[in-house]
Amino acid sequence: MDDLTSSVNSILVSEDDNSLSTQSHPRLDIYKKKSSFISNQAERRRAQLLEQKKKRESKVESLRFRPSTPSVQKKTTPTKKSNTNSLYSNQLMFSEWLIEVPNDLDQNWIMAVCPVGKRCLVVASEGITSVYNKVGKLITKHSSRLPGGYKESKTDYTILDCVYNDPLRTYYILDCLCWKSHPIIDSEESHSVYYNI
C-alpha cells in the first residue's frame, strides 16, 4: 500500500499546489446571475414592483383606447387560428414568497386573503365579457353586468384581475385595472384599495 501511495504522490498534474482549490472559481460569482443582481430582498422587491408597475401601466395604456383589439387581431391572422391574445398575456400580478418578514409588515403592507381557484383576466368590452388565462388564452365569453359587458354599455370597458372558483361558479376580484373606461392603475394606492375592498 505504501508503494501505491508513493507512486500516486509522484505523479503531478500541475506544478502549483492545490491551495487554489479552497477558493471559489472566479466565474462562479457570475454564474446564472444577472448583472443587476440585488442581494437585499427589500431592494430587490422594490425594484421588481417598479418594473411590474411599468409593464402593467404600458399594457393598460395600450388597452385604454383599443378595447376592441382582440377582434381586429383575429381578422389579421387568417392562416393560424389561435385563442391566445398576446395583448392580455402576462397581465396578472402574482404574489412573491416572503423569505424574510419585513420590519414594517404591520404598517406599510396590505394583506388580502386569496380564494382558491384559477387566476384569470376578465375583460368586458363591446357588450361581451371575455375571460383570459395568465398567458392570454381565451377561456370563455359571456354577457355580464360589468360596465362594457352588456349591450347597453358597449362604449365602456372594464378589466379585472380575478380568481375563478369553478365549484361555486364565482369570480373573486383581486385587482381592478380599469372600471367603466377609467384606468384605476393610474390612481393612488389608497384609491385602488378602496375599489378592491
Range of weakest confidence among 65-69, 110-114, 144-148: 65-69
Confidence at residue 24, expressed as pLDDT on a 0 to 100 scale: 60
Distance CA 15, CA 107 (A): 61
What's the grid cell of residue 188?
393612488
Query: Residues 74-98: pLDDT tens digits?
Result: 444 444 555 566 677 777 777 766 6
Q: Which phi and psi angles does 75 have, rounded to 5°?
A: -75, -30
Fold for domain 39-196?
A: D-amino Acid Aminotransferase; Chain A, domain 1 (3.30.470)
Strands 138-142 and 128-132: antiparallel
Range of weakest confidence among 15-24, 72-81, 169-178: 72-81
The pTM assigned to this predicted structure is: 0.55
